[in-house]
Structure 1
Amino acid sequence: MSKSLEEVHESITTEGKKTGFRKILAFLGPAYLISVGYMDPGNWATDLAGGSQFGYSLLWVLLMSNIMALLLQSLSARLGIVTQRDLAQASRETYTPFINYILYFLAEIAIAACDLAEVLGMAIGINLLFDIPLLYGVLITVLDTFLLLFLINKGIRKMEAFIITLVAIIGLSFVFEMIFAQPELHKVIAGLVPTLPNQDALYIAIGIIGATVMPHNLYLHSSLVQTRKFKRDKTGIKQAIKYNFIDSTIALNLAFFVNAAILILAAATFYKSGMYEVAEIQDAHQFLAPLLGTKWAAILFAVALIAAGQSSTITGTLAGQIVMEGYLNLRIQPWVRRIITRLIAIVPAVVVILVYGESVTGKMLVFSQVLLSLQLGFAIIPLIHFVSDKSKMKGFHINKTTQISAWIIALIIVSLNIKLVFDEIENWIKTTQNPIYLWVTVVPLAIGFLVLLLYIVFKPFVSKYKNYIDNHSPHHTKLKLDSLKNYTKKHIAVSVDFSSADEKAIQHAVDLGGINAHYTLIHVVESVGAMFYGNKVGDHETAIDKALLDNYFEVLTSKGYTVTTKLGFGKPSKIISTIVNEGNYDVLIMGTHGHTGIKDILFGTTVNMVRHKIAIPLLLVKD
């Protein structure tokens, strides 16, 4: 089974921590990476719009969203801790390929919408702080592609420390903003009482929910909790669930403070001054200094905005990797994934800015958050089903009270979204001169998604899901060797990667060497831990790879072949070359996957590097 975020899977040990505080500290971190998604630039737009138009009256929506988020994120963490699968992997194991492709498509739309908000937010922050044109700011955001690669190569702890630093900058900035704004406390308290002034408030409220409870965070959290290594007995799993809940509570309450601070800031300045239409971040920045009487209010606002955009774009990339690998079992190089995700967000942003100007960015931000909210049901409902399943959760399924609470949250979110979609379609039909196009395109699409939603809600109650995938890993270890050909070589090295290419590579090797040759199977563990610690890494991936290599050994020796195995650690091209050059081999055989050109850029290539570094013949066998 392929592990979620394999390069950092179980890379942080929690064992051997003697004190309770050190034990908790070892688990703290994943939720802070999650929390930045709850305070990204998209939240700023909806919070500003809510505060300037309706004062403090939508604070209760933020509080409700935070409670929803805490429950849902704890369910996501539980799924990852107990099953050692992220939400995308669990879906792939459970649903048919057709359903999975649709769910993957919807998840990618959510990530693209999220990234659009991050692109615009960072670009606006750069524009406000350095007076760089917004269009150039959008293009500059491409450069942060490489920051994620740098951080993840330094280890997950370094990434968490970087994110926590950015979160601290955001939090401190708004502490000072609250001091400058001096909000009316009794109105803040009154805003916690549920009320919806009008139809526009519902649109903003749904945007706030979409900006707060993000679908990509549910995929991300179920993966990040697997970076912790702990004893996988009943006590260890219970302890991991408990400590991750503490982590989530601290981090998400900090995110709630930031979101509430933005809405309160807008209410205490713009709404109070009768400026009800301030929904654009640029306008908020422009008016803060004169209204609050200090230039630092505007500067800190812009600094916090850049920090929010930068931190959330990192976690958005990780979520994209998890979704793609989980649903499609497709791994591409991280920097390529980052570029693709960023371009999907940049292209519409650039087009809209060029056509409509910079004044529509606020509307784009709010729309991106409403779009996120529309995807929520397709992530929440499978999650609730999975963590309620006794067999899947091995006795750690949620109790009836938690199930009821989770379904109430799902019902609220889905009901609000259905109402929003119905109202929007009805409005389009009334205002369009020729609505027939809407009846044959938008309406059937909306009905189709509603049917899909009903299917994933009721299917488990009607009949149990089949396990559509027994092993969703790319590893294939069954070898079927055909007739032997003439023996011509004495000592043959074969590079294996546990893919379908291995069978043909080993078949060619035995055809070439026959029963009397000596075969050496070489495999390289290329996880982050292997890069840093070599053969001392002892991580989960190493254990799996060793077991698979031993399986090959047993298959071949049972057929009478003389075989040895070598397990290397680090960069495959370098390690394979070193092993071959240090051994007395006649030929090296490598299986290839038949891709060249652009696919080499996407998936990486080892063959070209190896062939230039070895002194013996290299036989390439195309899969």
Structure 2
Amino acid sequence: MKNIFKIGPGTLVTAAFIGPGTVTVCTLAGVQFGYSLLWALALSIVACIVLQEMSARLGIVTQQGLSEVLKSQFDNKIVRWILITLVLSAIFIGNAAYEAGNISGGVLGLSTILGSPIVKIGAISINYMSLIIGVIAFVLLYIGNYKILERSLIALVLLMSVAFIITAIVTKPDLSLLFKGFVPDFSADKILTIVGLIGTTVVPYNLFLHASIVSEKWKSKEELPEARKDTIVAIVLGGLVSMAIIIAGAAIQQTEVHNAADLAKGLEPVFGAMAKYVLSMGLFAAGITSAITAPLAAAYVVKGCLGWKDGLKSKSFRSVWMFILFLGILFSSLGIKSIVIIRFAQIANGLLLPIIAIFLLWVMNQKNILGNFANSLKQNVLGFLIVLITCFLGIRGIWKVIENM
């Protein structure tokens, strides 16, 4: 029984993507487009499994993180620094946006219970709840002793996830419409939401994080089947929760979502008037857990890229996560609606994903470091298709933004 309920690296990856972004983007997808984007989420789940399996395999075979392996493959200093700059730029931009979304998710939850988070000081508007959540994340990261609190918060996130699954069943969706939702549709008005769904499921920094943490659990190549099972089961379960959120969102009888109370309407068939409190606590918990993970992951990536040997409590390591946390607090305090920030963060991740996926795919074909565990033809075809699709959607998404300017 202990082995069944033991949390593995795959579960931590899933916990990272079941955050405020998933709840918000999936609910918006359901409200605006019904079941018609379930196919995009199914594609995201497959892409997540394929890429995270590569990341886990790399970590177990090399006992190193993705950034360390990437760096070791280039002898030419100029090429190496160009590569490091590209990786760090993608991680910094993505994680700063993601951190702003995480903190905004926590604010979205709290503001439903405590009221407006905006305080005006002269001509300046300050979101004080962003500062509160930022300070909590800072203290937990600085002392490094947040395991007990993290488990409690994950329990609240799980409660929210189960609530959405039950709601999706209780709303009795039209099965014929549900199955039609798995037919691909690339309509222009849906492109940014599709990119957001991919960005909230296949989180770029998770590819770095997964490769780094699997080596703590598995030391032998013979344990790869167990790692694959852990990855697939965890991501599929997370994907089912995301689908349940879309289905629950499709049952909401309105076309606009402005706050957590609107998001919570998807849970009303089960929880009634208490729905907004269940969702609010879940969003707050998801926001805090993700607000801890994103800066930490960025610091691990920088540590690997720059070859720092210092510990996790060194000034250099702490300076990285402090910077990401500061940017997250800053962007989430600007008076922009939380839902807008969260949605932007997922779209930014979706646009940056192809860059990281290309690096990962290239590394997974280096037989000099992976030997017989390098990518097979089937794995390369799947990986290449994912890169092509995400590039296509990214270009369409950027073009859509330019058209609307």
Match of 2:212 among 209, 214, 223: 223
Amino acid at match of 1:31: G
- Equivalences for 1:520-531 in 2 at 5 Å? none
Amino acid at match of 1:383: L
For residues 360 and 185 of structure 2, what CA distance do their matches in structure 1 show? 29
Aligned twin of 2:221: 237
Aligned twin of 1:51: 30
Is it true that 1:361 corresponds to 2:346 in the alignment? no
Match of 2:129 among 109, 112, 137: 137
Aligned twin of 1:248: 231
For residues 382 and 419 of structure 1, what CA distance do their matches in structure 2 show? 22
Report the CA distance between 1:425 and its aligned residue: 3.3
Aligned twin of 2:159: 169
What is the identity percentage for the equivalent residue pairs of Structure 1 and Structure 2? 27
For residues 177 and 195 of structure 1, what CA distance do their matches in structure 2 show? 26
Report the CA distance between 1:321 and its aligned residue: 1.7
For residues 86 and 163 of structure 1, what CA distance do their matches in structure 2 show? 27
CA RMSD of superposed structures (Å): 2.6
Report the CA distance between 1:255 and its aligned residue: 1.4
Q: Is the 8 A contact 1:38 1:214 kept in 2?
A: yes
Aligned twin of 2:123: none
For residues 22 and 287 of structure 1, what CA distance do their matches in structure 2 show? 37
Match of 1:203 among 187, 192, 196: 192
Q: Is the 8 A contact 1:40 1:117 kept in 2?
A: no
Report the CA distance between 1:426 and its aligned residue: 5.0
Is it true that 1:146 corresponds to 2:139 in the alignment? yes
Distance 1:257 1:98, change over 3 A: same
Is it true that 1:126 corresponds to 2:110 in the alignment? yes
State the TM-score, normalized to the length of structure 1: 0.58
For residues 80 and 24 of structure 1, what CA distance do their matches in structure 2 show? 23
For residues 205 and 89 of structure 1, what CA distance do their matches in structure 2 show? 32
Aligned twin of 2:351: 374
Is it true that 1:277 corresponds to 2:277 in the alignment? no
Is it true that 1:64 corresponds to 2:67 in the alignment? no
Amino acid at match of 1:248: T
Report the CA distance between 1:132 and its aligned residue: 5.6
Distance 1:311 1:290, change over 3 A: closer
Report the CA distance between 1:406 and its aligned residue: 0.8
Q: Is the 8 A contact 2:98 2:342 kept in 1?
A: no
Amino acid at match of 2:243: A
Report the CA distance between 1:25 and its aligned residue: 7.0
Report the CA distance between 1:62 and its aligned residue: 0.7
Between the two structures, name the one with larger relative contact order (CA 8 Å, sep ≥ 6): 2
Report the CA distance between 1:153 and its aligned residue: 4.6
Report the CA distance between 1:121 and its aligned residue: 0.2
For residues 237 and 277 of structure 1, what CA distance do their matches in structure 2 show? 50
Is it true that 1:344 corresponds to 2:327 in the alignment? yes
Amino acid at match of 1:146: V
Amino acid at match of 2:140: L
Describe the SS at the equivalent of 2:364.
helix
Q: Is the 8 A contact 1:24 1:243 kept in 2?
A: no
Is it true that 1:384 corresponds to 2:373 in the alignment? no
Larger gyration radius, structure 1 or structure 2: 1
Amino acid at match of 1:107: I
Aligned twin of 1:602: none
Q: Is the 8 A contact 1:126 1:132 kept in 2?
A: no
Q: Is the 8 A contact 2:34 2:249 kept in 1?
A: yes
Aligned twin of 1:297: 275
**Most deviating of 251-260 and 74-83:** 251-260
Describe the SS at the equivalent of 1:395.
helix
Q: Is the 8 A contact 2:92 2:298 kept in 1?
A: yes
Is it true that 1:309 corresponds to 2:287 in the alignment? yes
Q: Is the 8 A contact 1:166 1:311 kept in 2?
A: no
Is it true that 1:76 corresponds to 2:82 in the alignment? no
Q: Is the 8 A contact 1:173 1:304 kept in 2?
A: no
Report the CA distance between 1:140 and its aligned residue: 1.1
Report the CA distance between 1:327 and its aligned residue: 1.5
Report the CA distance between 1:422 and its aligned residue: 3.2
Is it true that 1:320 corresponds to 2:278 in the alignment? no
Describe the SS at the equivalent of 2:373.
coil
- Equivalences for 1:495-514 in 2 at 5 Å? none
For residues 68 and 133 of structure 1, what CA distance do their matches in structure 2 show? 37
Match of 2:373 among 396, 404, 425: 396
Is it true that 1:420 corresponds to 2:404 in the alignment? no
Report the CA distance between 1:381 and its aligned residue: 0.8
For residues 206 and 378 of structure 2, what CA distance do their matches in structure 1 show? 23
Describe the SS at the equivalent of 1:183.
coil
Q: Is the 8 A contact 1:182 1:268 kept in 2?
A: no
Is it true that 1:104 corresponds to 2:82 in the alignment? no
- Render the CA deviation track for 1:46-99: whole Å, top value 9, x for unaligned: 212211111111011111100110110010001111112211112222342123
For residues 277 and 57 of structure 1, what CA distance do their matches in structure 2 show? 17
Q: Is the 8 A contact 2:22 2:197 kept in 1?
A: yes
Match of 2:241 among 258, 271, 280: 258
**Most deviating of 389-398 and 328-337:** 328-337
For residues 416 and 285 of structure 1, what CA distance do their matches in structure 2 show? 26
For residues 392 and 156 of structure 2, what CA distance do their matches in structure 1 show? 35
Q: Is the 8 A contact 1:125 1:305 kept in 2?
A: yes
Aligned twin of 1:17: none
Report the CA distance between 1:244 and its aligned residue: 1.3
Q: Is the 8 A contact 2:13 2:206 kept in 1?
A: yes
**Uncovered stretches (5+) of structure 1, i.e. residues with no partner:** 1-20, 231-235, 429-623
Q: Is the 8 A contact 1:45 1:281 kept in 2?
A: no
Aligned twin of 1:35: 14
- Equivalences for 1:179-190 in 2 at 5 Å? 181-190=171-180
- Render the CA deviation track for 1:270-317: whole Å, top value 9, x for unaligned: xxx3x2233x34352475587778112222111221222122222213
Distance 1:308 1:188, change over 3 A: farther
For residues 372 and 290 of structure 2, what CA distance do their matches in structure 1 show? 34
- Equivalences for 1:591-606 in 2 at 5 Å? none
